[in-house]
Amino acid sequence: MGTNVKPYEADGSKKDQVQKMFDNIAHRYDFLNRFLSLGIDRGWRKKAINMLAEYKPKRILDVATGTADFAIATLSLEPEEVIGVDISEGMLEIGRQKIKEKGITNMRLDFGDSEDLKYEDESFDAVIVAFGVRNFENLDKGLSEIRRVLKPGGVAMILELTQPKGLFGVLFNIYNRTLLPLFGKLFSGDNAAYTYLPASVRAFPEGEVFKKIMRNVQYEKVEDRRLTFGVCSIYTGLK
């Protein structure tokens, strides 16, 4: 299961299109994240890191790491090693520059597909994914791969955008259909990327449905927490 919403054409693989889209917008990705979320995305990652602290992870894998903001935020937990993996070389290149500039020595970023991870079974204490699973071509496969590389008792932590309910949800939908695609197009130069974003959020399973998908691929103690009126959710599951 996953969603078939793709950035560009109806035909062709979602993975190829997602890779192309993130390569296209990589140079503006961090700026647009801060600008379009009014900086709130930083708070969501921080909240997730506070939750992760409970597990005292020593080896962390950040799947769909992009420009590595989430991976870098885990350093406050003093892990021994952090690896980020992504299918967009454009995004990884920006992340690698940050690692170099910050003089980080216990982190590396690998090119790779979440649905076919090149890591050994049971090799990470925590696997984290921020705003990545919505883009997977095959969600079940990605979630199973994440579980495979987790040590027994390890935690998968997934942040994803969700749809707020009530009046805030109505206002948020108006923003998503008007200003977000407009600013996204203006600043990223990619006409489709910021139309794909809200469309992919609307089509993506959330809440109980997403938790059921996690349980179906054998995660235990699956929980979720909604942040900022439900704009973002943090899902956790144990192996």
Ligand X SMILES: C[S@@+](CC[C@H](N)C(=O)[O-])C[C@H]1O[C@@H](n2cnc3c(N)ncnc32)[C@H](O)[C@@H]1O
* Site of interaction with ligand X (CB under 6 A): 15, 18-19, 22, 64-66, 69-70, 86-88, 91, 113-115, 130-132, 135-136
Cβ–Cβ under 8 Å, residues 156 and 55: no
Task: Indicate the residue among 41 and 125 with the shorter CB distance to ligand X.
Answer: 41
Q: How far is the CB of 199 from ligand X (least distance, A)?
A: 14
Tell me 165's DSSP state.
Answer: P
Q: How far is the CB of 166 from ligand X (least distance, A)?
A: 26
Q: How far is the CB of 167 from ligand X (least distance, A)?
A: 27
Task: Indicate the residue among 135 and 195 with the shorter CB distance to ligand X.
Answer: 135
Task: Indicate the residue among 43 and 166 with the shorter CB distance to ligand X.
Answer: 43
Q: How far is the CB of 173 from ligand X (least distance, A)?
A: 20
d(CA 133, CA 121): 20
- Torsion, Cα 192 3 202 43, to 10 degrees, reads -80
Tokens 């883009």 correspond to 135
- Burial of residue 151, with CB atoms counted within 10 A of its CB: 0-12 exposed, 13-18 middle, 19 or more buried: middle
Task: Indicate the residue among 124 and 131 with the shorter CB distance to ligand X.
Answer: 131
Strands 81-86 and 59-63: parallel
d(CA 172, CA 181): 13
Task: Indicate the residue among 7 and 154 with the shorter CB distance to ligand X.
Answer: 7
d(CA 3, CA 140): 11
Task: Indicate the residue among 20 and 59 with the shorter CB distance to ligand X.
Answer: 20
Task: Indicate the residue among 71 and 214 with the shorter CB distance to ligand X.
Answer: 71
* Extended beta strands in the chain, E state: 59-63, 81-86, 107-111, 124-130, 150-161, 220-227, 232-238
Measured from each CB, the residue nearest to ligand X is: 66
Q: How far is the CB of 219 from ligand X (least distance, A)?
A: 19
* Extended beta strands in 37-139, E state: 59-63, 81-86, 107-111, 124-130
